[in-house]
Structures are given as structure tokens and as C-alpha cells.
Amino acid sequence: MLFSSILGVFALVSTSVSALPAIWEDEFQALDDEYRELQKRENETDFDATFDIEKRQSSFYAITGQSKTPLRARLEIRDLQRNKPNQWQLFLIALQRFHDLPQSDKLSYYQISGIHGVPRVNWDSVGQCSGCSGADGYCTHDSILFLGWHRAYMLLFEQKFMEIVRALANEYPAGDKRAQMVGAAGLLRFPYWDWAALPPNGGNVMPDFFTTQTVTVDHPQGRRTQRNPMFRHDFTNPSDLVYTPFRNWQVSSII
């Protein structure tokens, strides 16, 4: 049914509607009615109800993006730090939790980051293509496909990150504090760094929060010091990084 309808669409290029066989006209009408019904259901159905792919196939992680509410603008990371203190705290804590997921987890920081290059491991049971000998990762570098590919990749990265953020926000003590953090989580997007922007007040081009080894955060259980997830990532096993010196690095633990 669908295949013959698609053929009918191509036929329209060179054939008038009046010349179409009656059976094709019926199929076009059925396809149009189906499309209108889908539109009607979309308008009447809660947005979350359309995300059923993962339920039908439990081993698959559907990339839908994190936002199921009106889209929010991303903030430049220095603006996030200066002007959104609750979002900044959630960002730091959640990013470290993302780092801490087991390397064997396909939705860990390690494996999702590795989609772009190394570690040289299969992701979600999908291996290297037969003609990709010597290539690392799944990224379409040096191709016109790169921009579209990278948008979907960042949707995956942010989607998993925001799952951690929302869970974290709900760990804060019930009452005003939790309400503040849940509200902040609803507004947070993964920030960007405008490396070409002039630093404020004559400061360093490289923001300090990229180079400090630890950060102090307002954790759900109170103030504490943790590793700075923007400074380092600790690999439990660096062997799949392939390239020297990365696979041989030994970094002493700070915290």
C-alpha cells in the first residue's frame, strides 16, 4: 500500500491526476486521509505519548532530544556561571555523574563521547563499516553529511545528560530548595563556549573553570568538593583509546 502510493507520487511528475488509474486515486485518498488523521492525533495527544519507540524495542535508545517543552536558548558557559547559579550547580554535579557512569554502559559519557572517535569500540552493537578501515568512530568527518550527523549526535549527548540533571534535581530536600532546582533543571540546556569572544573584565581567554582541578558545589546532601568534570575525565581502562600517549597516561587521583 505505502510502496504503491510512493510510486504514485513520482507518477504525478509526468501524469495529470485525471489520467491516474482509479485504484491509484483511491490509494492517494487513503494516504491523504491517514496523514490528516495523524495530524489530528498529534494536535489532540500529549507530546510525551508519541515517544513509544524505546518501549517497543527495549535494547534501543531512541534519540529524541532532551526538550519536551518549548525550546530554550543555550547559554554561553560564562553567562551560565555568572547569571544562573542553580543551573550552574546542576551542570557541574550532573556532568560529573555522567563521567562516573561505567565505561561498559552504552549511555555512559565514555561511550557516547567515543562515538565521535575513540575508544575504538562498537556502539549499541553496531560495528565499523566494511569500507571504513583505519577510521575511528562513527562521525562523518570531511563530508557534507557532517552538520546533520553532528546535530543528532549532540541531541543524544544532551538527552542523556538532561536525564541525569532531572534525577539530580529531585534529590534535593523537599520544599523550596527542590522546587528551585527542579525549575532550574527545566530551563537548563547544555552550554557552549564562545572561544572567540573577548573575556570579560580583561580576564583570561581560557576561563578558570576549565583549568581548576576541583569545584565546590551545593550537593543535595550539602556543600562538598568534587572533581571538576570540565578539567578531566578519569578512564577506568584507557586501552581502547588506541593512540599513544593517551592510552598510557597515568594521572594521580585528586579526589
pLDDT tens-digit series, residues 62-95: 888 876 667 788 999 999 999 999 999 999 999 9
Query: In the 8-state DSSP scheme, what is residue 207?
Result: -
pLDDT of the residue at 108:
95
pLDDT of the residue at 47:
43
Domains of the chain, each with CATH number or no CATH: 1-32 (no CATH), 77-125+135-195+205-248 (1.10.1280.10)
235/253 Cα distance (integer angstroms): 11
Q: In the predicted model, what is the mean pLDDT of residues 162-174?
A: 96
Average pLDDT, the chain: 78
Summarised one tens digit per residue, pLDDT across range 220-253 is 999 999 999 999 888 888 888 877 777 776 666 6
What the block records as the C-alpha cell of 234 is 578519569
The more confident residue out of 59 and 26 is 59
Entry pTM: 0.73
Q: Which residues contact 133 (CB under 8 A, 6 or more apart)?
A: none
Q: Which residues contact 166 (CB under 8 A, 6 or more apart)?
A: 182, 185
Q: In the predicted model, what is the mean pLDDT of residues 94-105?
A: 95
Q: Are the CB atoms for 85 and 215 separated by under 8 Å? A: no
Q: Are the CB atoms for 142 and 150 separated by under 8 Å? A: no
pLDDT of the residue at 11:
32
